[in-house]
């Protein structure tokens, strides 16, 4: 079966009051149009055409070659928008889903259900519909005695009986592709707005004796379209609840789901515990049996199993099994931790590979470095990786010990089992098994502290 998609994304979205193109506003980390395109990808659509208008370049820049594009220069209605895909799709056999790009809550399971009904009934068109308590303002779905859809009646055109109908048009459709474009050629714009409407295709197909079906949504929220910032927040909240529910049913514990933020593409293993204030973003993957939070903010990172992350920020980082991070650590892009690594409080790691069993317990910076197995960094030890022009590499081989308040001036190498004494500033290579001391010899001036106090007191008295 050949499935195609047409995503209507040409509207400017003036009610968003934004410089950003409407369908690029994000819901749970992804632009609305991305959620819609992903749903079509999940049902194995062979071709997806996104109809763009205002902000076309921004949409194309984001979606890239995942889809094809058709341009609607003038906003002449939904039927006119679909017609812009004619040159790309009209010759194809198969089914076409027509859907709005600002409906991020639509699920691929709903699209699959609509397609299944469409095929079973041999329909020319199948509408996605919702049964609502208050249908005011929505087009009503009118069915015949067999249950087939005969027309969509807008609110202003409803008679008293039709106003009582609670089944409404959602605005997502499944069409026989050839019949869609044949009917579009017959759509007129003889209405107050002088626009061409996709809903008129339904009336044309019914008039031709074609079967038109309606697939009723199980979850009314999936029909939700976003037109302003308030509706954007509602979509965000609804999707957050859906995402959290999915993870909890899959074996993830959330101590306080209301304060736990998880974006759409995050993956989490079973028996992981998420503590309050945790935010998981982007393509983050977390293994099993972890404890994440409280107040952990993790973006595009890969976390192994049995990992603890407390009060810390991770961006594009890798953390191996059994490691611990925080509290108050910062893992920047390129941080790559092996197994059983300990990163403690107020430690920053950037573009550095740390092998298994490394300990950087507190108040240290490791950047542009390769650190071997079982190395210990003392409090305040840092790699000095930037000379004002270029970043330089620091290498510390396995079983070395870096004392407190050590400066490793890159490029530099510390050998296996070497010991760097606290307070040293290292500018030359330290050999395997060596002890490195690089600091001024201590000088004590007997009784000089009392002389300084007397001197300072005299100066103060003169003031």
pLDDT at 154: 84
Q: Is the pLDDT of residue 54 over 90?
A: no
Q: Is the pLDDT of residue 143 over 90?
A: yes
73 is in an annotated binding site: no
Region 307-322: what's the mean pLDDT?
98
pLDDT band at 388 (very low <50, low <70, confident <90, very high): confident
Cβ(447)–Cβ(454) under 8 Å?
Answer: no
Specify the DSSP element, H or E, that contains 457: helix 448-462
78 is in an annotated binding site: yes
Residue 353 phi, psi dihedral angles, 5° rounding: -105, 120
154 is in an annotated binding site: yes
Q: Which of 25, 35, 247, 362 is catalytic?
A: 362
pLDDT at 207: 94
CA-based angle 28:29:30, to the nearest 5?
100
72 is in an annotated binding site: yes
pLDDT at 423: 96
Distance of CA 222 to the CA centre of its chain: 19
Region 226-235: what's the mean pLDDT?
96
Count other C-beta atoms under 10 Å from residue 91's C-beta.
10
pLDDT at 417: 97
Region 371-386: what's the mean pLDDT?
97
Instruction: Write the Ramachandran bin of 65: left for phi over 0, alpha for psi from -120 to 50, otherwise beta.
Output: alpha
Q: Is the pLDDT of residue 303 over 90?
A: yes
pLDDT at 199: 92
Highest mean pLDDT range out of 51-60, 154-163, 307-316, 432-441? 307-316
**Rounded distance, CA 393 to CA 412, Å?**
7
Per-residue pLDDT tens over the stretch 82-114: 999 999 999 999 999 999 999 999 999 999 999
Kindly calculate the radius of gyration of the chain based on its CA atoms and give it in whole angstroms: 32
Distance of CA 29 to the CA centre of its chain: 3
pLDDT at 191: 79
Q: Is the pLDDT of residue 426 over 80?
A: yes
385 is in an annotated binding site: yes
Q: Is the pLDDT of residue 181 over 80?
A: yes
**Rounded distance, CA 243 to CA 114, Å?**
23
More confident: 237 or 136: 237
Nearest to 337 by CA among 310, 316, 312, 364: 316
pLDDT at 354: 98
Region 411-424: what's the mean pLDDT?
97
Q: Is the pLDDT of residue 463 over 80?
A: no
9 is in an annotated binding site: yes
- pLDDT exceeding 70 applies to what percent of the chain? 100
Question: What is the pTM (predicted TM-score) of this model?
Answer: 0.90
**Rounded distance, CA 55 to CA 36, Å?**
18
Strand partners, 48: 5
pLDDT at 264: 96
Strand partners, 58: none
User: Where would I find the beta strands (DSSP E) of 227-372?
Assistant: 253-254, 261-262, 267-268, 273-274, 279-281, 285-286, 291-292, 297-299, 302-303, 308-309, 313-315, 318-319, 324-325, 330-331, 336-337, 342-345, 348-354, 359-362, 365-371
pLDDT band at 460 (very low <50, low <70, confident <90, very high): confident
**Rounded distance, CA 296 to CA 351, Å?**
20
pLDDT band at 441 (very low <50, low <70, confident <90, very high): confident
**Rounded distance, CA 421 to CA 441, Å?**
13
Interior/surface letters 173-188, b for 16+ CB within 10 angstroms, e for the rest: bbbbbbbbbbbbeebe
Exposed/middle/buried for residue 192 (C-beta within 10 Å: 0-12, 13-18, 19+):
exposed
pLDDT at 452: 86
Q: Is the pLDDT of residue 192 over 80?
A: no
**Rounded distance, CA 429 to CA 120, Å?**
75
10 is in an annotated binding site: yes
pLDDT at 156: 84
Q: Is the pLDDT of residue 12 over 90?
A: no
Average pLDDT, the chain: 95
Distance of CA 344 to the CA centre of its chain: 28
Cβ(294)–Cβ(311) under 8 Å?
Answer: yes
**Rounded distance, CA 364 to CA 422, Å?**
13
Residue 355 phi, psi dihedral angles, 5° rounding: -75, 180
Q: Is the pLDDT of residue 411 over 80?
A: yes
Q: Is 54 among the catalytic positions?
A: no
pLDDT at 193: 80
Domains defined along the chain, listed by start: 3-223 (3.90.550.10), 252-436 (2.160.10.10)
Per-residue pLDDT tens over the stretch 234-266: 999 999 999 999 999 999 999 999 999 999 999
Distance of CA 2 to the CA centre of its chain: 29
pLDDT at 267: 98
């Amino acid at each position: 079966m050949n499935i195609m998609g047409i995503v209507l994304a040409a509207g400017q979205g003036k009610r968003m009051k934004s410089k950003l193109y409407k369908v690029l506003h994000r819901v749970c980390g992804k632009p609305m149009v991305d959620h819609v395109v992903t749903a079509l990808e999940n049902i194995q659509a062979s071709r997806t055409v996104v109809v763009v208008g205002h902000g076309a370049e921004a949409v194309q820049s984001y979606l890239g070659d995942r889809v094809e594009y058709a341009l609607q220069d003038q906003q002449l209605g939904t039927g006119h928008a679909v017609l812009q895909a004619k040159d790309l799709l009209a010759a194809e056999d198969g089914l076409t889903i027509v859907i709005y790009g600002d409906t991020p809550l639509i699920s691929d399971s709903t699209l699959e259900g609509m397609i299944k009904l469409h095929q079973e009934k041999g329909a020319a068109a199948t509408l996605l519909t919702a049964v609502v308590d208050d249908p005011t303002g929505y087009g009503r779905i009118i069915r015949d005695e067999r249950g087939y859809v005969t027309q969509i009646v807008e609110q202003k055109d409803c008679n008293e009986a039709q106003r009582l109908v609670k089944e409404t048009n959602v605005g997502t459709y499944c069409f026989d592709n050839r019949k869609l474009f044949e009917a579009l050629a017959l759509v007129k714009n003889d209405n107050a707005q002088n626009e061409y409407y996709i809903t008129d295709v339904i009336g044309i197909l019914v008039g031709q004796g074609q079967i038109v079906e309606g697939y009723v949504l199980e979850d009314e929220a999936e029909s939700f379209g976003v037109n302003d910032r308030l509706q954007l927040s509602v979509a965000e909240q609804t999707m957050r609840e859906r995402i959290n529910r999915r993870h909890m049913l899959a074996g993830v514990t959330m101590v306080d789901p209301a304060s736990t933020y998880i974006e759409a593409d995050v993956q989490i293993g079973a028996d992981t515990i998420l503590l309050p204030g945790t935010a998981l973003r982007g393509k983050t993957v977390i293994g099993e049996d972890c404890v994440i939070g409280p107040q952990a903010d993790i973006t595009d990172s890969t976390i192994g199993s049995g990992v603890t992350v407390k009060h810390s920020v991770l961006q594009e980082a890798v953390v191996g099994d059994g490691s611990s991070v925080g509290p108050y650590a910062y893992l920047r892009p390129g941080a790559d931790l092996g197994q059983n690594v300990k990163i403690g409080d107020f430690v920053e790691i950037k573009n550095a590979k740390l092998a298994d069993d490394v300990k950087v317990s507190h108040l240290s910076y490791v950047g542009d470095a390769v650190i071997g197995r079982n190395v210990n960094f003392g409090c305040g030890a840092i790699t000095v990786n930037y000379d004002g022009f270029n970043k330089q590499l620091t290498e510390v081989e396995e079983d070395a010990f870096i004392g407190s308040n050590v400066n490793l001036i890159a490029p530099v190498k510390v050998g296996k089992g070497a010991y760097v004494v606290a307070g040293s500033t290292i500018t030359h290579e330290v050999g395997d098994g060596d002890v490195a001391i690089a600091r001024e010899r201590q000088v004590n001036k007997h009784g000089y502290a009392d002389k300084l106090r007397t001197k300072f007191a005299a100066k103060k008295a003169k003031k």
